[in-house]
Structure 1
Amino acid sequence: MKSTFILAAALLASAAQATAQTAAPASRVAPDQITTKQGPLTVQPITHGSVVLTWSGKTIYVDPYGGGEAYTGLAAPDVVLITDIHGDHLDPKTLASLPVSKALMIVPPAVAEKLPAEYKGRVRVLSNGQQLDTLGMHVAAIPMYNLPEAPDAMHPKGRGNGYVLGLGGKNVYFSGDTEDIAEMRALKNIDVAFVCMNLPYTMDVQQAAQGVLAFKPGIVYPYHYRGQNGLSDVAAFKKTVNTANKKIDVRLRNWYSAAK
């Protein structure tokens, strides 16, 4: 009898330890759920330009960055999307700390050239304008770049990708590092948009607001809003957008709650 109690106690302790190891960080903001024709789309902000989507039994990591601890308790990715070569998008240290061994990696050519060799066999390369259907989703690579266009720009045209994902009848746009470019303004039927605004690298608040008012997404998340001078005023972004168009659901989330 004594050995039975000891065994039971050991099993309970082991289970408690496993739960502690996989529990979500206390600082992580709560996820949102968005209805699609194929079940809920879960949106989990991580930090800066990093987000995790869960949909139809698939998990998608976008620009995983900030260290593996930020992803504790989340399912291993089926797909990893990377937008550009900079360290807050292509972060080899974070990738190495995550369970990405079975993930399909969708990246622009410049990122493919810089990925560690161990990932090369699972890479699908998309250039601006190219599309891919995989795992029940549609992926379109969208230009992202600085204005005015210049070869020495921080983000020259053609190097990085924004993405539009088709998930259960919903179109989800990730801007990547861009300005208020014509290709963004021309987007149609975007249900959910993640839009950057961090000077001097991308847009200011007014540029981002005017771009969003042009393509009219149903829901927009300001993300990637820390720049050289701190955080952009996302409340001002929301006010500008909703003063002009009350139908756009501007969702402000704290993308820097886990920042170290």
Structure 2
Amino acid sequence: MKSLLLTAALAAFAVTAQAQTAAVPRTAADQIATKKGPLTVQPITHGSVVFTWNGKTIYVDPYGGAAAYAGLAAPDVILITDIHGDHMDTKTLAELPVSKALMLVPQAVADKLPAEYKAQVRILRNGQRLDTLGMTVSAIPMYNLPEAADAPHTKGRGNGYVLNLGGKNVYLSGDTEDIPEMRALKSIDVAFVCMNLPYTMDVNQAAQGVLAFKPRIVYPYHYRGQNGMSDVGSFKKTVNTGNKKIDVRLRNWYPAAQ
């Protein structure tokens, strides 16, 4: 009898744990057509997003605990932009099935990752490019203006990324301001652009940067700052007043906060 009660208790615990994991809210995914099938865009939280494309799964800055990734495939590639804890979250990495993933990171991140990941790491510096698994990953600068040694993000430490996935160019800003390198981007199909003071840029800076490089689709993300959420509605209005052709997609990157 005790054995049966223990088995029942363990089963109930497992069901409860699964329910708790499944109950973590997540914004619905989008799909974007490419020459090699759909690109699925799954917002996670803050600066974290998961792409599924051509049979591969890409995690960007996995953060916030494994429950946010419940039900998603294990990553084939992990991109990390910076050393700050909302980008390089070693606790979340330890909870996720990442043992077979290629980790593309800047040198500063590689220097701080636990030793267990070293064999999986490929370092990309600003300006470098890697062709892997049918995709191209280019590392570009991300930094604060004006440039200063004590800035939260110094030039060369972190990476923004441009991915080419089936002919579509996808830009991930990382933590940056509207730097010349961002404004000079060409032929960006999908952009993820940050806006949170005092760490990156304000809403107007982000909008003006987007109007300069004219992505076809833009997602404002990473918009929680010291004083709460940035006004992404104002961002959309400013962008579309300047260019009605840019598809500004407002998604809830903080569903757990609702």
Q: State the TM-score, normalizing by the size of structure 2.
A: 0.92
Instruction: Name the counterpart of 1:4.
Output: none
Is the contact made by 2:25 and 2:68 (CA closer than 8 Å) also made in structure 1? no
Whole-angstrom distance in 2 between the partners of 1:251 and 1:170? 17
What does the per-residue CA deviation read over 1:93-140, in whole Å, with 9 as the maximum and x for residues that have no partner?
000000000000000000000000000001000000000000000000
Q: Are the structure 2 counterparts of residues 237 and 74 from structure 1 closer, same or farther at C-alpha, using a change threshold of 3 Å? A: same
Is the contact made by 1:191 and 1:217 (CA closer than 8 Å) also made in structure 2? yes
Q: Secondary structure at the match of 1:36?
A: coil
What does the per-residue CA deviation read over 1:224-258, in whole Å, with 9 as the maximum and x for residues that have no partner?
00000000000000000001101000000000002
The one of 20, 42, 65 equivalent to 1:67 is 65
Which aligned runs of 4 or more in structure 1 are off by greater than 2 angstroms? 16-26
Q: Are the structure 2 counterparts of residues 24 and 138 from structure 1 closer, same or farther at C-alpha, using a change threshold of 3 Å? A: farther
2:223 counterpart of 1:225 = yes
Is the contact made by 2:24 and 2:68 (CA closer than 8 Å) also made in structure 1? no
Backbone CA RMSD of aligned residues: 2.0
Instruction: Name the counterpart of 2:179.
Output: 181
Instruction: Name the counterpart of 2:115.
Output: 117
Is the contact made by 2:190 and 2:218 (CA closer than 8 Å) also made in structure 1? yes
Instruction: Name the counterpart of 1:159.
Output: 157
Instruction: Name the counterpart of 2:93.
Output: 95
Q: Which amino acid aligns with 1:49?
A: G
Q: Report the Cα offset of residue 25 of structure 1.
A: 3.8
Q: Are the structure 2 counterparts of residues 259 and 113 from structure 1 closer, same or farther at C-alpha, using a change threshold of 3 Å? A: farther
Whole-angstrom distance in 1 between the partners of 2:20 and 2:253? 21
Q: Are the structure 2 counterparts of residues 28 and 89 from structure 1 closer, same or farther at C-alpha, using a change threshold of 3 Å? A: same
Q: Which amino acid aligns with 1:126?
A: L
Q: Secondary structure at the match of 1:258?
A: helix
Q: Which amino acid aligns with 1:33?
A: Q
Instruction: Name the counterpart of 2:47.
Output: 49
The one of 72, 77, 80 equivalent to 1:79 is 77
Q: Are the structure 2 counterparts of residues 144 and 56 from structure 1 closer, same or farther at C-alpha, using a change threshold of 3 Å? A: same
Q: Which amino acid aligns with 2:193?
A: V
Instruction: Name the counterpart of 2:189.
Output: 191
What does the per-residue CA deviation read over 1:61-99, in whole Å, with 9 as the maximum and x for residues that have no partner?
000000010000000000000000000000000000000
Q: Which amino acid aligns with 2:147?
A: E
Q: Which amino acid aligns with 1:188?
A: K
Q: Secondary structure at the match of 2:255?
A: coil
Q: Which amino acid aligns with 1:89?
A: H
Whole-angstrom distance in 2 between the partners of 1:49 and 1:118? 24
Q: Which amino acid aligns with 1:136?
A: G
Q: Secondary structure at the match of 2:218?
A: strand
Q: Which amino acid aligns with 1:36?
A: T
Whole-angstrom distance in 1 between the partners of 2:94 and 2:227? 30
Q: Are the structure 2 counterparts of residues 254 and 125 from structure 1 closer, same or farther at C-alpha, using a change threshold of 3 Å? A: same
2:29 counterpart of 1:31 = yes
Q: Secondary structure at the match of 2:196?
A: coil
Q: Which amino acid aligns with 2:150?
A: D
Whole-angstrom distance in 1 between the partners of 2:24 and 2:111? 36
Q: Report the Cα offset of residue 27 of structure 1.
A: 1.5
Whole-angstrom distance in 1 between the partners of 2:144 and 2:129? 23
Q: Report the Cα offset of residue 191 of structure 1.
A: 0.2
Q: Report the Cα offset of residue 151 of structure 1.
A: 1.0
What does the per-residue CA deviation read over 1:6-64, in whole Å, with 9 as the maximum and x for residues that have no partner?
xxxx9xx99x9599469754511100000000000000000000000000000000000
Q: Are the structure 2 counterparts of residues 32 and 24 from structure 1 closer, same or farther at C-alpha, using a change threshold of 3 Å? A: farther
Residue segments in structure 2 that go unaligned for 5+ positions in a row: 1-7
Is the contact made by 1:47 and 1:259 (CA closer than 8 Å) also made in structure 2? no
Whole-angstrom distance in 2 between the partners of 1:168 and 1:67? 30
